[in-house]
Structure 1
Amino acid sequence: MLDYDTHSTSHLLSRAYRPVADEVTVSSPAITGTLPSELDGSFLRIGPNSLSARRGGHDPAVEHTFAGDAMVHAVRLGGGRAHWYRNRWVRTDRVAAELGELPTPGPRYGLGDNANAGLVQHAGNVLALGDAGVLPHRLGPQLQTVDRFDFGGTLPDGFGARPVQDPLTGELHAVAYYHELNHVTYVTVDALGKVRRAEPIAVKGTPMMHALSLTDRHTVLYDLPVTYSAADAAAGSRVPYRWDDSHGARLGVLPRDGGDADVLWMDIDPCYVFHPVNAYERGREIVVDVIRHERAFDRDPLHPVESEPAMWRWTIDRVGGTVSERRLFEGAEEFPCIDERMTGTRHRWSWSVGMAPGLAGALGGRELLRHDLTAMRTDVHDLGPGREGGAPVFVPRGPSAPEGDGWVLTMVYDHATDRSDLVVVDTADFTGDPVAVVHLPVRAPHGLASLWTAGR
């Protein structure tokens, strides 16, 4: 565990975190190894990429890690080839004005419109997502920003950064928060892309509710002590949220078709969760696996690096109204993913980024980790000297492949070349060499979320 008084942000000054100044399109990037022909789709990664890079003024030491302007990077794969790489800023109001373009059409809602925190593909649309009520921005197949999107006028308020899709019903579940409201909104979007339900859930204060977890019958909400700061907002912060000891921490269990009166709230030890792993039912219990930060935005309001993020398990007794907590694995890790066919049910495998000691909650790490939740074993894929990977995605080998049988893809930055690669690891030989590496002639700075879009 890091000492809060000695944690370092020096890694955030490296080129791996520096924004890029230009939009680039590269046809047929070079490949080492053999790309599996089954990989037909695009790998997308989104994150902050400050427009100040165009003017040479970006300083990550004094700018909020999450405040940079949204940029999406993508590599299109198919037929054993890499067809193209491109990066594009999401056309928010700020970006459109900087680039001298017309504003993006569509409604506006929330603290701003900087959709830099998440990606989802739903009902034929690829959406860039943000926090604090930001509306999704719909992206076209060439990464062009199509419009701001409110699900055909069916979304009453804002949306969330980390929705979860039910693999059986095709519905999308999200939690939206906005500091001017006295509630968060639990949103269910049907498989056709229309909001079916939008339930206000009362909360105390103004929590940053970044994510939720989903089982086959319940939704788990995270009411945790990172809250809106009016003082930070008045000072001009684009992300005016920080640690609030007085807020407390609790989990809320909500039946998926329930409302505010049906939420079972249970106190837990103070912490913060950016990224849940998965949740599932086990009799009267709900098992919730998450990446847990002991603190966030407390001593350092600009960077989420104050404590070591680690995988923890909360076991909720719905009858007794209690929660037991335990750490599952040693070592720092972030950006978990699972075989999404297992969402809401008991899973065996998860993948994440292993962080170097002392760097805590960085956005990249030197290892890919695979946890076997049945054997409680960890396998390590070493990305190599001077190389750092970001948020991975898992792609199954086929629709009926066993859980965890397929490929893990991640964008990897190489300090020696100041360039990035798309790395493809076969889970059949997870600790071995990648089966393919797509070499990009440019840097793709570390981001916040990744997505695989099949056939697109």
Structure 2
Amino acid sequence: MSLAPKFNEFPHVDRCLGGVTYFDDAPQWIYNLDNPYLHGLYAPTTEELSVDGLEVVGELPADLVGGYFRNGPNPVFESKNRHHPFDGDGMVRGVYFKDGKVSYRNRWVETSAFGEEAADGKSVSPGVMGPFDYSISQFGIKDTSNTDVLWYNGDIMTLWYNAGHPYRLDSQTLTTKSHYQLEGREPLRLSAHSKVDWSTGELIFFDYGDELPYLTFGVADANGCLQHEVPIELPGPRLPHDIGFTTNYAVLHDLPFFHDMEVLRRHKQRVLTFHKDIPTRFGIIPRRGQSDEIRWFECQPCYILHVTNCWEEGEWVVMDGCRSLNPMPDSQPGEGELAHMLAYMRLEANAYRWRFNLRTGEVKEGDIDLLNTEFNKSNPIFHGVKSQYSYHQRIPLLHEGGHTLRFTGLVKYDNDTGTSWQWDYGQGVFGSEAVFAPKPGADRSSVEDDGYVITMVTDSNTWKSECLVFDAQDIETGPVCRVQLPHRVPFGFHAVWARGEDLYQGA
């Protein structure tokens, strides 16, 4: 691996990461393109590894048993048009903790498009920046299954943000088994951020598109069988990204950040606009409710990517998440044809709480904190009931050097008080979405933050990657141990924790 930077040839990269780094394990076509989301921290890898007995620096907790799984974009072939970071083929990376030892696996998600491109030896997709080709999919681009990852019904499920076809991966090898189709449900599609309720094993899902019904909501049981699904009436096509749930309800999103259908039809381009004059709406529906049982609550115009948790307090439903008042920041001079994409990826959001009164229709909302954080996670045992803590990634703003999306620190919140604790990953070190790993046998009678927080980091000074394990009650002390990963891990999207009693059942 050569670390020799090449200046001025790639101005976007120079500004974001200080130059171009050449990796032996990266596809060589990336060096023909001036695109920061193909270089440095974002450079894809070409290796699929299975390595046992990883080196651990520090003390590995004896009661840490399970697996950390993270999905993300890892393109194999050059896009037909300009590259967007959402274009990359899905790759899942797993860190397995068992019997005081740690193992690592990584595999591409072998989607239908992945197989077609492998056969053709080139990309079949025009990419997110279009123009779109609707012979490929309902969204005009390939379904990469690169966004979300869940533990559900004994396997790993991968999902795409555009409500694509979920895929089922073997939890031990990460080999792609098949599409994941819920028994009793004809459509294959599910959106990313459909949720698994650990208390019941149920999958709480949503599906959306450009044609009626624009949104559907449903529930499947712990064995993958459809239990309930209803259409949800919306004013037009929307782009909901997440869903919340409580013991008795689901919380659906109708957000004023959507594309113009006329532009899409005429020019085959999705032009997103944040409509500041349209209120954000959250729809609360019983988990087995019919379409006409949904109740809509109007809130200040915003966009929300990720929900932290939802619960009921008497006649109130509470939702914690991260709110964005500027989902489409202004482009910057000198960024050329990539300006719109670079602006969109500069995520601005902060921890926020909404409260909805089911009796009176009243809404209360307000900031938990103003720090720019997102990719918020919490203890999954407490999903659907009152929780206090969440674990976010700190994201630098543009004036702080945040020209591209990256995570520079771990932030723990007490969402009731706004108190926070931080751990800085270090100069030139960038993290991944962190998960909460409860201790074996934990339940809702346990102390909520008695467990571990786990993330991956990559050090751009050495291009080495580690898996960090924190005591969730003492984030500021830093990781209790660092697992040395066998190769460089590029930037990714979402992660999930699988409990040892689930992951190793029968093993």
Question: Structure 2 length as normaliser, TM-score?
Answer: 0.79
Sort the Cα spacing of 1:383 and 1:298 in 2 relative to 1 into closer, same or farther, 3 A: closer
Distance between the aligned counterparts of 2:312 and 2:493, measured in 1? 29
Sort the Cα spacing of 1:64 and 1:248 in 2 relative to 1 into closer, same or farther, 3 A: farther
Alignment partner of 1:41 is 2:80: no
Aligned pair partner of 1:371 in 413, 438, 463: 413
Corresponding residue for 2:118?
99
Corresponding residue for 1:319?
359
Alignment partner of 1:382 is 2:427: no
Tell me the amino acid that sits aligned with residue 394 of structure 1. Answer: F
Task: Describe the superposition over 1:249-306 as per-residue Cα deviations: whole angstroms up to 9, x where unpaired.
Answer: 2111112221211111122222111111111112221111111111324656535445
Corresponding residue for 1:302?
341
Aligned pair partner of 1:331 in 371, 384, 392: 371
Corresponding residue for 1:4?
none
Distance between the aligned counterparts of 1:115 and 1:134, measured in 2? 7
Residue correspondence of structure 1 range 22-61 to structure 2 within 5 A: 22-52=47-77
Corresponding residue for 2:130?
none
How far has the Cα of 1:109 moved from its partner?
7.6
Distance between the aligned counterparts of 2:418 and 2:379, measured in 1? 17
Corresponding residue for 1:195?
226
Range moving further from structure 2, 213-222 or 356-365: 356-365
Tell me the amino acid that sits aligned with residue 208 of structure 2. Answer: Y
Distance between the aligned counterparts of 1:78 and 1:129, measured in 2? 26
Corresponding residue for 1:404?
449
Alignment partner of 1:432 is 2:477: yes
Alignment partner of 1:67 is 2:107: no
**Structure 1: which 5+ residue stretches go unaligned?**
1-7, 102-107
Residue correspondence of structure 1 range 80-99 to structure 2 within 5 A: 80-83=100-103, 85-99=104-118
Alpha carbons 1:249, 1:270 under 8 Å: kept: yes
Alignment partner of 1:124 is 2:154: yes
Task: Describe the superposition over 1:46-67 as per-residue Cα deviations: whole angstroms up to 9, x where unpaired.
Answer: 0111223xx6x899xx532322
Range moving further from structure 2, 188-197 or 301-310: 301-310
Alignment partner of 1:441 is 2:460: no
Task: Describe the superposition over 1:80-113 as per-residue Cα deviations: whole angstroms up to 9, x where unpaired.
Answer: 2112x23211111222133349xxxxxx985343
For the residue of structure 2 that corresponds to 1:193, the secondary structure is coil
Q: Which structure is higher in helix share? A: 2
How far has the Cα of 1:145 moved from its partner?
0.7
Corresponding residue for 1:105?
none
Task: Describe the superposition over 1:201-246 as per-residue Cα deviations: whole angstroms up to 9, x where unpaired.
Answer: 1111111111111111211111112324554687676xx4623527
Distance between the aligned counterparts of 2:145 and 2:249, measured in 1? 27
Corresponding residue for 1:79?
99
Alpha carbons 2:180, 2:188 under 8 Å: kept: no
Task: Describe the superposition over 1:340-359 as per-residue Cα deviations: whole angstroms up to 9, x where unpaired.
Answer: 11111110111111122436
For the residue of structure 2 that corresponds to 1:296, the secondary structure is coil
Tell me the amino acid that sits aligned with residue 210 of structure 1. Answer: H
For the residue of structure 2 that corresponds to 1:388, the secondary structure is strand
Aligned pair partner of 1:355 in 384, 392, 395: 395
Residue correspondence of structure 1 range 211-360 to structure 2 within 5 A: 211-229=242-260, 231=263, 240=270, 242-245=272-275, 248-297=279-328, 299=330, 301-303=340-342, 304-306=344-346, 308-358=348-398
Q: Which structure is higher in strand share? A: 1
How far has the Cα of 1:151 moved from its partner?
1.7
Task: Describe the superposition over 1:402-426 as per-residue Cα deviations: whole angstroms up to 9, x where unpaired.
Answer: 2110110001111111121111111
Alpha carbons 1:308, 1:360 under 8 Å: kept: no
Distance between the aligned counterparts of 1:169 and 1:361, measured in 2? 42
Corresponding residue for 1:204?
235
Range moving further from structure 2, 335-344 or 317-326: 317-326
Tell me the amino acid that sits aligned with residue 156 of structure 2. Answer: V
Distance between the aligned counterparts of 1:241 and 1:278, measured in 2? 30
How far has the Cα of 1:180 moved from its partner?
2.4
Sort the Cα spacing of 1:361 and 1:43 in 2 relative to 1 into closer, same or farther, 3 A: farther
Residue correspondence of structure 1 range 104-183 to structure 2 within 5 A: 110-111=138-139, 112-140=142-170, 141-156=172-187, 158-183=189-214
Range moving further from structure 2, 422-431 or 150-159: 150-159
Sort the Cα spacing of 1:328 and 1:375 in 2 relative to 1 into closer, same or farther, 3 A: closer
Distance between the aligned counterparts of 1:9 and 1:193, measured in 2? 47
Corresponding residue for 2:467?
422
Alignment partner of 1:392 is 2:431: no
Sort the Cα spacing of 1:307 and 1:42 in 2 relative to 1 into closer, same or farther, 3 A: closer
Sort the Cα spacing of 1:127 and 1:233 in 2 relative to 1 into closer, same or farther, 3 A: farther
Distance between the aligned counterparts of 1:33 and 1:58, measured in 2? 46
Distance between the aligned counterparts of 2:310 and 2:55, measured in 1? 39
Sort the Cα spacing of 1:152 and 1:110 in 2 relative to 1 into closer, same or farther, 3 A: farther
For the residue of structure 1 that corresponds to 2:113, the secondary structure is helix
Sort the Cα spacing of 1:355 and 1:306 in 2 relative to 1 into closer, same or farther, 3 A: closer
Alpha carbons 2:388, 2:415 under 8 Å: kept: yes
For the residue of structure 2 that corresponds to 1:344, the secondary structure is coil
Question: Structure 1 length as normaliser, TM-score?
Answer: 0.88
Tell me the amino acid that sits aligned with residue 366 of structure 1. Answer: T
By relative contact order (CA 8 Å, sep 6+), the higher-ranking structure is: 1
Sort the Cα spacing of 1:126 and 1:320 in 2 relative to 1 into closer, same or farther, 3 A: same
For the residue of structure 2 that corresponds to 1:422, the secondary structure is strand
Distance between the aligned counterparts of 1:32 and 1:420, measured in 2? 13
State the percentage of identical aligned residues.
Answer: 28
Sort the Cα spacing of 1:21 and 1:241 in 2 relative to 1 into closer, same or farther, 3 A: farther
How far has the Cα of 1:381 moved from its partner?
1.6
How far has the Cα of 1:364 moved from its partner?
3.2
Sort the Cα spacing of 1:441 and 1:156 in 2 relative to 1 into closer, same or farther, 3 A: closer
For the residue of structure 1 that corresponds to 2:370, the secondary structure is coil
